[in-house]
């Protein structure tokens, strides 16, 4: 079990070591936080798979903070936590079954994860969905039926041979999975907003204790929601400088770096194309809300002014 691996990793570890193709979107500066040209804040705990395998680890969990540039809403935050699991099967273990090695490993993986889901969620309906990850083949996502909808809780699959070979494991097979911890906790406890994990409000933290997970999540007390502070909506409209270059993630990053955790959502509410000038105008609605206190008009107006200014200087937009 590893929970203290450094979150700054090389692009090789984050992407190449797990076979992420050169043209994959996750490599772009729009999706991943680059520290230098060849180091990043890891965007997944899979970044550690290869080096741990190389160190001779055959069965491990990695928990850690991961970072992604993304849009802003109640279920997305630029830093969250993942748990990665890997299990290697030796030639001997693989030969103890009639099944083809890959089928055997898939079966082991699925029954282990179904057991985990049952432990966490109780008797829930599960379904396996075929998926794509560069590092596994076949790849699957596990979905659970919760509060009336199918929710993706993890990705997993049979590890690509090329990764194992890179760690000098040629006769072995392995499975791997990765799950988002906040997402799991939000579902388990009915936590409505991912920013609550970052609040200092005791009405949140007092409801959780170390070890309370042990008996299985479905027996646990739900989070008792306290009333939220009121939101404050501000719209900003602007002409795009260069339509092909503008990205919503860039916009969100600017709003986030100006307003921090006070921003709850950034949402495109109107788009207008002027056929004469071939210019595009966007209107975004920013929802400000604190998890801890009431915001004043004055404070939000000042913030909004800073956001507007930053949009002009950093993105080169023209405010309307
Ligand atoms: N790294 C994937 C992600 O961040 C999750 C994942 C999927 C991890 C499949 C795995 C895996 O180890 O086998 O979305």
Q: Domain 8-189 sits in which CATH superfamily?
A: Bira Bifunctional Protein; Domain 2 (3.30.930.10)
On the question of pLDDT at 41 being above 90, the answer is: yes
Confidence of residue 145 (pLDDT cuts 50, 70, 90): confident
Which residue has the least CA distance to atom 5 on ligand 1?
Answer: 178
Mean pLDDT of the chain: 91
pLDDT given at position 151: 81
On the question of pLDDT at 218 being above 70, the answer is: no
pLDDT given at position 272: 93
On the question of pLDDT at 175 being above 70, the answer is: yes
Q: Judge whether 8-189 and 232-319 match in fold.
A: no
pLDDT given at position 84: 98
Which residue has the least CA distance to atom 3 on ligand 1?
Answer: 44
Three-state secondary structure string covering 247-287: CHHHHHHHHHHHHHHHEEEEEEEEEEEECCCCEEEEEEEEE
Contacts of 15 (CB under 8 A, 6+ apart): 24, 26, 27
Tell me: the pLDDT tens digits for 125-137?
899 999 999 999 9
- Which of 133, 160, 162, 173 is the best mutation target for the ligand 1 pocket, counting ligand atoms within 8 Å of the beta carbon and taking the most? 133
Mean pLDDT, rounded, for 9-31: 96
Facing residues of 248 across strands? none
On the question of pLDDT at 217 being above 80, the answer is: no
Tell me: the pLDDT tens digits for 180-201?
999 888 888 888 888 899 988 8
Q: Domain 232-319 sits in which CATH superfamily?
A: Ferrodoxin-fold anticodon-binding domain (3.30.70.380)
pLDDT given at position 25: 93
Which pTM does this prediction carry?
A: 0.84
Residue 251, sorted as left (phi over 0), alpha (psi -120 to 50) or beta, turns out to be alpha
Confidence of residue 286 (pLDDT cuts 50, 70, 90): very high
* Pocket (CB within 6 angstroms of ligand 1): 44, 46, 84, 133, 135-136, 155-157, 176-178
Please tell me which residue, 161 or 216, carries the higher pLDDT value. Answer: 161
Mean pLDDT, rounded, for 38-59: 98
Mean pLDDT, rounded, for 241-262: 86
- Which of 66, 177, 182, 183 is the best mutation target for the ligand 1 pocket, counting ligand atoms within 8 Å of the beta carbon and taking the most? 177
pLDDT given at position 292: 83
pLDDT given at position 71: 86
Which residue has the least CA distance to atom 7 on ligand 1?
Answer: 155
Q: What percent of the chain has pLDDT over 90?
A: 70
In the chain, where the domains are located = 8-189, 232-319
């Amino acid at each position: 079990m590893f929970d203290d691996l450094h979150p700054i990793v090389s692009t090789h570890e984050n992407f190449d070591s797990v076979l992420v193709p050169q043209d994959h979107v996750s490599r772009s500066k729009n999706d991943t936080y680059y520290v230098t040209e060849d180091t990043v804040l890891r965007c997944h705990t899979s970044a550690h798979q290869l080096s741990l395998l190389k160190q001779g680890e055959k069965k491990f969990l990695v928990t850690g903070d991961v970072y992604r540039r993304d849009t802003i809403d109640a279920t997305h935050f630029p830093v969250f936590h993942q748990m990665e699991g890997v299990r290697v099967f030796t030639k001997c273990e693989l030969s103890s079954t009639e099944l083809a090695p890959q089928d055997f490993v898939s079966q082991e993986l699925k029954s282990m994860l179904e057991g985990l889901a049952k432990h966490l969620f109780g008797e829930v309906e599960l379904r396996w969905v075929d998926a794509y990850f560069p590092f596994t083949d076949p790849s699957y996502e596990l979905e659970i039926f919760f509060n009336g909808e199918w929710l993706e809780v993890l990705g997993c699959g049979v590890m690509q041979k090329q990764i194992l070979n890179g760690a000098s494991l040629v006769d072995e097979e392995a499975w791997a999975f990765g799950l988002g911890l906040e997402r799991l906790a939000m579902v388990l406890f009915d936590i409505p907003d991912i920013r609550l994990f970052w609040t200092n409000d005791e009405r949140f933290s007092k409801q959780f204790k170390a070890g309370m997970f042990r008996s299985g999540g479905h027996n646990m007390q739900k989070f008792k929601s306290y009333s939220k502070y009121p939101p404050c909506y501000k719209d900003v409209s602007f002409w795009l400088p260069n339509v092909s270059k503008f990205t919503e993630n860039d916009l969100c990053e600017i709003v986030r770096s100006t307003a921090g955790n006070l921003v709850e959502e950034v949402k495109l509410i109107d788009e207008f194309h002027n056929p004469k000038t071939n210019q595009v105008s966007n209107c975004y609605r920013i929802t400000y809300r604190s998890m801890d206190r009431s915001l004043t008009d004055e404070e939000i107006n000042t913030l909004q002014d800073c956001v507007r200014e930053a949009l002009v200087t950093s993105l080169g937009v023209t405010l309307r």
